[in-house]
Structure 1
Amino acid sequence: MRRRLIQSTLAVVLVVIAVFGVSLVIVETRTISESARERVRSEAVRLASIVDSRLIVDEQVTAEILSGQITGDRYAVIKIPGRPAIEVGDKPEGDVISATAPGEEGETVTVQEPRSSVTQEVARTLLIIGLVALLAVIAAVLLAVRQANRLASPLTDLAETAERLGSGDPRPRHRRYGVPELDRVADVLDSSAERIARMLTAERRLAADASHQLRTPLTALSMRLEEITLTDDLATVKEEATIALTQVERLTDVVERLLTNSRDPRTGSAVTFELDEVIQQQLAEWRPAYRSAGRAIVSSGKRNLRAVGTPGAVAQVLAALIENSLMHGGGTVALRTRVTGNQVVVEVTDEGPGVPEELGARIFERAISGRNSTGIGLAVARDLAEADGGRLEMLQAKPPVFGLFLSRTPPQKSDDADRQTVR
C-alpha cells in the first residue's frame, strides 16, 4: 500500500510539473526573445537620437566618439547621407538579433546582437526551472512517504488489532491516529473488544458458578446413593431414594436457573414459598456430612414463615452458607429465623473462629477465600439473593453470623408487564 500511495502521488506531481513546466519554458523563451529584441530596438533608437543631436549642432560623428555608447558585444552601423557608413564594435558571426531606427536628419542606425546571448539566458532560465522542478519532486516524494506512513501504519495496526481479537485477546488498545475514518474503525474495534471481553467474562463466570452450584447437590446426591448402597433396609432405601430424587429435582432447577441467568440475569422467578420447607430440606441434606465431621446442625426461631424468592435459589444460598461453616467454621451450626419489618431473616452461625480481620467486607468478593477454596461461594450466594430482590450480609465476624434477608411482600407487576402478558 505504501508503494502504491507513493507512486500515485509522485505520478500526479510529475504530470503537474510536466504540464506547467513545459508551458513555463515556452512562455519564458518567448519572453526572453522579445526582451532581447526590445533591448536592441531601444539601443538603435538611443543611438539615432545621439547622432541627431550631434548633426544638428554640426559636431563630428565618428566611430571613436560613438564607441562609448555601445555596451556589451553589440554591433552598430550608422549610415548618414553623403558620408561613408560608420561601424561601431565587432560584427557578430552567425545568427543575430537586428533592429534599425531612422533619424530626423535622414540617417539610419542598425544595431545587432548575437543570438547566443539569448540562448544563454534561456539556458539559465531552463536550469532554474529544472532545479525548482527537482525540488518539487523531492518535496513530493517526502510528502508522499509521510502520508503513506500516516495511512499505512494505522491500517497495519488495525489489522493487528483485528487479528488479536480473532485469536482471543479482547483487550482494547485505545489508539487513535488523527484520521477520522481510521479513528472510527478503531472505535468500532475497541467497542467490539469490550463486548467480547464482557462475553468471555460472563462465560467464565457462568462456568465457575455452574461448577460451584452443581457441586453441592451432586455431593449430597452421592452421599444419598452411598447410604443406599450401605443398607439392606427397604424402608431406608425408599427414604434415601426419595431424598435423592429431591436432589435430582434441585439439580435440574439449578441448571435451568444457570441457563436462564446466562441469557438474561435480570429475569426473576420470585414466588411466595414456605421458608420452613427449604430449611428442613437443607437440614436433611447436610446432617450426614455434619455427623461424619462429628458436628451438629440445628434450626431455631419463628416457624411457618412465608417469604418471597426462588426456592431453589434460596436453597442454594443456604447451602453455600452451611457448606462454608462446614469447611471453615466449628462446633454446632444453627439456622435461626426471625422477622424484621417487612422482611424475613435467616441467620446462619457457628462456633468457629469467625472471619479473619484482613478479609472483612471483602468476604463477598470473588476469588477471596480464607483457605484453599474456590473463593466464589459467597459471591455466588450474594448474586443469587439479589437476583430475587433479597440480600445477603455478614452481620457479625466473630463468631460468624450471616443473614439472608427476604421480602414478605410479593413483587408488584407493572402495567407494562401486564400488557406484555396480555399480548
Structure 2
Amino acid sequence: MRRSLAGVALAVTSMVALSFLIPLGLMVMSLAREQSITAAEQSAAAMAPILALTTDPAELREAGAGLRAADYMVIHLPDHATVGGPGHAPQDLLGRAEGERESISRDVPGGWIYLQPVILPQDRVAVVENFVPDEDLTRGVALSWSVMAGLAVVLLAGSVLVADRLGSAVVTAAGRLAEASRRLGTGNLDTRVKPKGPPELKEAGSAFNTMADRMTDLLAVERELVADLSHRLRTPLTALHLAVERITPRTDTSRVQAAVAELEKELNAIIAEARTPLAVGPLGRVLRGEDAVDGPPGAGERCEVADVVRRRAAFWAVLAEQQARPYDLRITDETTPVCLPDSDITAVVDALVGNVFRYTPWGTALEISVNRTAHTVELAVHDAGPGIADPDGALARGGSTGSTGLGLDIAHRAALAARGAVRITRGPLGGAHVAVTLRLATEPAADRPRSRRRSRTAGRGH
C-alpha cells in the first residue's frame, strides 16, 4: 500500500510537471528565437540612415562593426558591390527586395535571413542583408531546459518522499487496526487501538474501540444474567434436594438423589463459569479462565469423548428404564481426544439425548454410539421416532422448537469449535440420526483395536 501511494504520487506529479514544463520549454525556445530576430532587424534598420549619408565601404564597415547582431550583415550596393562577407540570401529574394522595395524575412538553410531595402539618392536601392544562424536562434534554450528538467526531478523526488511519509503513516495506522482486529477476534477483549493517521483511520480506530467496549459490556451483562438465573434456580433445587431426603427409602430413591446431585453439580459449574473472566475465541466460542489465551486451534482444554459419553449415558439410562425405552450404547475402546472441555461434550450429549426423550413417545428405541476414524471422532444419537422432516432447515434454525430443539444448535457450535460438522440423516432405527463429527486432538498412532459393542436395554443396570 505504501508503494502504491508513492507510485500514485509519482504519476500525478509527473503529469502535472509535464503539463507545465512542455509549454514552458516551447515558450523559452520561442522567446530565444524572437530575441535573435528582433536584434537582427534592428541592426539592419540602423544601417538605413548611414547608407543615406554614404556608400563608402570602409565607412559602412566601421559603422556596422558597432552594431549588435551584425556579425553576418551584408550590404548589397546598387552597383552590385557588397560590403561584408558572403551573403546567404538567394538572388531571387534580393531581386524581389530591390524591385518591390519591401522587407523580407524568411527561414533559409542554416538559419534565418532578413532583407531590408534602403532607397538612396537618384532613386537607387541598396539592400541590407542580416543572417541569423540556427545556433543563435536557440542560444540559451538548452541551458533553460536543463534547469527546468532539474527542477522537475527535484519536484518529483520531493513528491515521492512526501507520499512515502504519508503512506507510511496510513499503512502503520491501518496495520495497527488490522492487528487489533485479529487479537480481538482471537479472544483478547482488552485490545484497544490509539487512533492515528488520516481522519478516516482515526475515525475507524475510535469506532473499533467503541465496538470493543460495547462487546465487553454485552458479554458482562450476559454473564450477570446467567449468574443471576443460576442463583434463582438454587432455591427450588434446594427445596427439591430437601424433599428427596424426606422420601421413604425405596429402590429408585438413590437414583433420584443421584439425579438431583448431578443437577446441583451442573448448576454450581454454571455459576462458577459465569463468575470467571471470559473472552471470545475462534468461531464465536466463549473462552473462560486459562482458555482465554491466544493460540492455535487445539491448544486449549481437551477431553475424552468416550469417557464423557459413558458417564452421561449412565445418567440417561435411568430415565430410559423408567420410560421403557430400548437403550443401546456403542462406544469404541480407542482413545478419543478432542479439543473441547468436558462441559461442551456433556452439553452436546444431554442436548441430543434430551431431544429424543422430549419429542418421542415412551417406548421409542434410542441408540448412542462413539466411533473413531483416522482423523475424527463421531458421536451419533439416533432413535426410532418420526425423524426430522427438514434436516437442512433444522440446522439453519438453531433455536427452533419441535423435534430439532436447541440441541442441534449446541451440537453445531461444538462441532465448529472442534473443526467438525453435524450431519442429520435417517438412521437404522427408522428415526432421526444426528452425527456430530469432531476432529481428533492428536493424530492416530498405529493399528487401532476393534470397537466393542455394549448393549443396554430397559430394565438393566447402567
Larger Rg over CA atoms: 1
Task: Classify the TM-score, shorter chain.
Answer: 0.3 to 0.5
> Which gives a bigger RCO, structure 1 or 2 (Cα 8 Å, sep 6+)?
2
> Scaled by the length of structure 2, what TM-score is found?
0.42
> Scaled by the length of structure 1, what TM-score is found?
0.45
Please identify which structure carries the higher helix content: 1
